[in-house]
Structure 1
Amino acid sequence: MSRLLLTGVVALFLASWTPTVVAAQETEPQVPHYQLNRADEDYRYLKDPARRTDFWDPVKYLPLNREGDWYLSLGGELRERYEFFENYNWREQPQDSGYSLQRYFLHADLHLGERVRLFGQLQSSLEYGRSGGPRPGVDRNQLDLHQGFLDLDLVRDPQRTVTLRTGRQELSFGSQRLVSVREGPNVRQSFDGFRIMYRAGGLALDGLATRPVQSNRYTFDDPTNHNQALWGAYSVVALPERTRTSLDLYYLGLYKKQAVFDQGSARETRHSIGTRIWRSAKPLDYNFEFLYQWGSFGDGSIRAWTAASDTGYWLEGLPTTPRLALKADVASGDRDPNNRNLETFNPLFPKGAYFSENGLIGPSNFINLNPSAEFHLPQRVILSINWDFFWRESIQDGIYNNSVVLVRSGRTSSARYIGSQPQLQCEWNVQRHLSLVGIYAHFLAGPFLRESGPGRDVDYLTTWVTYKF
């Protein structure tokens, strides 16, 4: 609990240290929000001295020539987090007394005119006190180059831009169901390779050929993972303005030299084609996604699929402007572990907190219903409550985590129901730079978990403070 106290002390200190920033946020609504991928930010608006109102503005735009089109932008982030599990993985692992996770980012964004850009970002992720030590690949990475790429604008005019990005970079598409920066875990995901980006009016089209970066624990030891590859194309099209709806169409390819499922392990080449239709405008918002996969798994073939939905309605006339929502998702599982063909859906590189920050269950071989309610309180506080219900789509397959690692084999139980999880989350956006989050979840183990191994209920508590500049 000392780590939890430290998190609160740090938050109070940062809130008191930057009082002028709150005023700037209130008087300058045009100041942009920080992006999930910090490389997506643009500070050219600070060329106008009248718009430099924030404490950090002097380092966000450092002109290097008289015209101001050569400039350097600096930024960073720190996150202090505490996590506690009671019966982690339903008591398959030893009990611990809680642990802390720290993450630091520092980046530099150099623009050499309108067509050339260099971006570099360091990441340091630390773990203290976890029983059994840090989880591989997601908890600890002392210091490494997280992003380092060159952007060349091949075409730039008022109607369209074409940009070639080469080097180490974060990738994120759509709802991050398939390709994500993996924000939830302590160590984020990046890729080495090429990306070409076309932008014209309401159309965004990206092509990519990459390999994931292998996250190791120590200093500057993260190589390209040559045992895996990700390639494809992703497009976003804005439909007629009156609909306030957009359409995503995409193809993504995945190669793994050694993939492991409940059926066994083998070389995997998987192709995914999908579509997403979404609307974020109030009062009715929605997000529907449908995807089909095919390819090869060893000597067998792959046939898998998923369908996902998130529908919400805002009660704008009521206090706290509640949003009531229902998510309904399903992803295929393997039909016969003794058959060489594979039907288990692979979510590729999904967001780390797909269903919950505790990451107990990932999006393979599942059926999920999740009703929720979200309330917007004074002082930028958002309170949300939801209740997840989980079933196996195929009772011949096991359950997996977010990294498509088998958590529990399906060979010892014919039960379909996995369990349910109520969760309460409170998010306080203190001001533009500072936010605090607290989450409590309780997983109620169902028949499948109790019959296939340890099946204790799980309690999960986490809280973190994030400061960005």
Structure 2
Amino acid sequence: MRLPPGLGAILGIALVILVCRPAHSPAATGATADAPPYALNRADEDYRYLRNPANRLDFWDPLKYLPLDGNGSWFLSIGGEARERYEYFNRPNWGQGAEDHGYFLQRYFLHGDLHLGDHARFFTQFQSSLEDGRRGGPRPAIDEDQLDVHQLFLDLAANLPGDSSLTLRSGRQELAYGSQRLISVREGPNVRQSFDGFRLIYRKGDIRIDGFAAKPALTNRHVFDDGPDNTRALWGAYAVLPCPPLAEAHLDLYYIGLFRRTAGFDQGTARETRHSAGARLWRTALPVDYNFEALYQWGSFGNGDIRAWTVASDTGYTLVSLPLRPRIGLRADIASGDEDPANPDLQTFNPLFPKGAYFSEAGLIGPANFIDLNPCLDLHLTDKATITFDWDFFWRESTRDGLYNNAVALVRSGETSNARYIGSMAQTQLFWNIDRHLSFVAIYGHFFAGRFLKEAGPGNDVDYLTTWLSYKF
């Protein structure tokens, strides 16, 4: 495969940074034990530790904590992020459409976090996501949003007896729960997802319980034109609890409701009201980590009933005493598909608002009507750099249903083939947290088309490459 055009620009930027970047002391970079990592949702960060001047060691700390009163309980925190990304596809969508193309994606965030004492807070975040060079222009909803309000909410908090707290969050906000299989900020794509609504947040030690009611924010391409999507609604409750019988384990229990005025599946298009109830058991401590999740869905689709389900697992063992601390892992997942398109009842699982990179950053396959088996190997080159090798194999759970993408949009109908095997994707991924602010990622994958894709046609293999640099402050 020849070097994709434009890739040299990203690699050149990375080389300049790595070669010319001066060596800094911990005090200059903020790489101290007291400096927490930046959160996925920047609204989850807390800079009250900077009340102590001795902790103000990072270059950006003067912006992270701007006291507005004498005791520092009123303060403003300012932060942001820039991500420069290049993506390349050879035969995207398995040869249906353009043969090969590469394009640039840029994403910028700027936020302000105003704390008015311990009981009131105002948070706002702007997002600008830009696309350049993609054949056919930006993909709807995920590639471009020139400038808009990504988050804008008010927190009203109260301290409760027993060291607990209750917070009401009102406005536009990010939602992310568990492994982000169902509700995600959609970090992989260029435009992240946010919601307009209300969230009630209860915290006590390791116990976290959220109740929420919201509508997804629309992603329109131009300036300040993202309103709420009145054709969809999301509501539910999510609890995270310690699980004392299992060492260092946690248990998630949740109910989530979804309404879509117009929902499309291989069976057809109709109004959808879907309820999901599930549980997740997880542990991140070494050497054994695991993540098991199961859920059941019911509701209505047009005149039919919904009966769908999924089971997911991710288990790993880290050989902490060996060089490179290898982690051997296995992910195995299954989600139901429709059993009979002529029957009005629907069995296709709906992943609701999943993370954009559910199986891979390529986003070729979404989590509906599938079986996947994914062995992987992680090698820790340093404390900050990890390289991952994995090979994901895909089948259709039901041969009467089609193949979907992450947005639960039909990619290939199941009516053209009774084959179960979709194909497999081999990937190599490098993740490098250069320091607290700067990170670099490079991913290459090759998808080997299986019998179903070849019979549903076209069914060519796909090459995918992406690399990006992110800077946060």
- 2:319 maps to which residue? 315
Aligned partners of 2:216 and 2:143: how far apart in 1? Answer: 17
User: Do structure 1's residue 7 and structure 2's residue 4 form an aligned pair?
Assistant: no
1:30 Cα deviation from its structure 2 partner: 2.1
1:93 Cα deviation from its structure 2 partner: 1.5
Task: Kindly provide the amino acid, as one letter, of the partner of residue 9 in structure 2.
Answer: L
Task: Kindly provide the amino acid, as one letter, of the partner of residue 309 in structure 2.
Answer: W
Alignment match of 1:159 (pick from 159, 163, 186): 163
- 1:221 maps to which residue? 225
Task: Kindly provide the amino acid, as one letter, of the partner of residue 47 in structure 2.
Answer: Y
**Residues 154 and 169 in structure 2, CA contact (< 8 A), matched pair in contact too:** yes
- 1:190-201 mapped onto 2 (5 Å cutoff): 190-201=194-205
3-state SS, counterpart of residue 349 of structure 1? coil
Task: Kindly provide the amino acid, as one letter, of the partner of residue 133 in structure 2.
Answer: G
**Residues 232 and 251 in structure 1, CA contact (< 8 A), matched pair in contact too:** yes
Q: 1:48 to 1:23 in 2, by over 3 A?
A: closer
Alignment match of 2:68 (pick from 64, 68, 72): 64
User: Do structure 1's residue 46 and structure 2's residue 63 form an aligned pair?
Assistant: no
CA deviation vs aligned residue, 1:331-362 (integer Å, no higher than 9, x gap) = 00000000000000000000000000000000
* Structure 1 stretches lacking a partner, 5+ long: none
Aligned partners of 2:160 and 2:77: how far apart in 1? Answer: 21
User: Do structure 1's residue 168 and structure 2's residue 179 form an aligned pair?
Assistant: no
- 1:168-187 mapped onto 2 (5 Å cutoff): 168-187=172-191
The sequence identity of aligned pairs, in percent, is 61
- 1:236 maps to which residue? 240
1:411 Cα deviation from its structure 2 partner: 0.3
User: Do structure 1's residue 302 and structure 2's residue 309 form an aligned pair?
Assistant: no
Q: 1:22 to 1:390 in 2, by over 3 A?
A: farther
Q: 1:19 to 1:40 in 2, by over 3 A?
A: farther
3-state SS, counterpart of residue 101 of structure 2? coil
Task: Kindly provide the amino acid, as one letter, of the partner of residue 6 in structure 2.
Answer: R
Task: Kindly provide the amino acid, as one letter, of the partner of residue 7 in structure 1.
Answer: I
1:155 Cα deviation from its structure 2 partner: 3.0
- 1:140 maps to which residue? 144
**Residues 396 and 410 in structure 1, CA contact (< 8 A), matched pair in contact too:** yes
User: Do structure 1's residue 436 and structure 2's residue 440 form an aligned pair?
Assistant: yes
363-372 or 89-98: which moved more? Answer: 89-98
**Residues 21 and 54 in structure 1, CA contact (< 8 A), matched pair in contact too:** no
1:201 Cα deviation from its structure 2 partner: 1.9
1:4 Cα deviation from its structure 2 partner: 2.4
- 2:59 maps to which residue? 55
- RMSD of aligned alpha carbons: 1.5
User: Do structure 1's residue 149 and structure 2's residue 153 form an aligned pair?
Assistant: yes
Aligned partners of 1:286 and 1:221: how far apart in 2? Answer: 42
1:203 Cα deviation from its structure 2 partner: 1.1
Q: 1:43 to 1:14 in 2, by over 3 A?
A: farther
3-state SS, counterpart of residue 350 of structure 1? coil
**Residues 30 and 436 in structure 2, CA contact (< 8 A), matched pair in contact too:** no
Alignment match of 1:409 (pick from 388, 393, 413): 413
TM-score, normalized by length of structure 1? 0.97
1:316 Cα deviation from its structure 2 partner: 0.7
- 2:380 maps to which residue? 376
Task: Kindly provide the amino acid, as one letter, of the partner of residue 3 in structure 1.
Answer: G
Aligned partners of 1:14 and 1:199: how far apart in 2? Answer: 41
User: Do structure 1's residue 84 and structure 2's residue 88 form an aligned pair?
Assistant: yes
Task: Kindly provide the amino acid, as one letter, of the partner of residue 252 in structure 1.
Answer: I
Aligned partners of 2:66 and 2:5: how far apart in 1? Answer: 40
267-276 or 26-35: which moved more? Answer: 26-35
- 1:339 maps to which residue? 343
CA deviation vs aligned residue, 1:148-205 (integer Å, no higher than 9, x gap) = 0000003356610000000000000000000000000000000000000000122100
User: Do structure 1's residue 454 and structure 2's residue 451 form an aligned pair?
Assistant: no
Alignment match of 1:105 (pick from 109, 112, 119): 109
3-state SS, counterpart of residue 292 of structure 1? strand
**Residues 96 and 130 in structure 1, CA contact (< 8 A), matched pair in contact too:** no
**Residues 193 and 211 in structure 1, CA contact (< 8 A), matched pair in contact too:** yes
Runs of at least 4 residues off by over 6 Å = none
CA deviation vs aligned residue, 1:111-156 (integer Å, no higher than 9, x gap) = 0000000000000000000011100000010000000000000335
1:5 Cα deviation from its structure 2 partner: 2.8
- 2:119 maps to which residue? 115
TM-score, normalized by length of structure 2? 0.97
3-state SS, counterpart of residue 31 of structure 1? coil
Aligned partners of 1:27 and 1:90: how far apart in 2? Answer: 44
CA deviation vs aligned residue, 1:32-78 (integer Å, no higher than 9, x gap) = 00010000000000010001111111100000000100000000000
* Structure 2 stretches lacking a partner, 5+ long: none
- How many residue pairs get aligned? The number is 469
CA deviation vs aligned residue, 1:349-406 (integer Å, no higher than 9, x gap) = 0000000000000000000000000010126210000000000000000010011010
User: Do structure 1's residue 74 and structure 2's residue 78 form an aligned pair?
Assistant: yes
1:241 Cα deviation from its structure 2 partner: 7.9
1:264 Cα deviation from its structure 2 partner: 0.2
Task: Kindly provide the amino acid, as one letter, of the partner of residue 7 in structure 2.
Answer: L
User: Do structure 1's residue 425 and structure 2's residue 429 form an aligned pair?
Assistant: yes
Aligned partners of 2:39 and 2:31: how far apart in 1? Answer: 21
- 1:389 maps to which residue? 393
**Residues 25 and 31 in structure 1, CA contact (< 8 A), matched pair in contact too:** no
Task: Kindly provide the amino acid, as one letter, of the partner of residue 469 in structure 2.
Answer: V
Alignment match of 2:361 (pick from 357, 364, 377): 357
Aligned partners of 1:9 and 1:168: how far apart in 2? Answer: 38
Q: 1:148 to 1:33 in 2, by over 3 A?
A: same
**Residues 286 and 311 in structure 1, CA contact (< 8 A), matched pair in contact too:** yes
Q: 1:30 to 1:242 in 2, by over 3 A?
A: farther
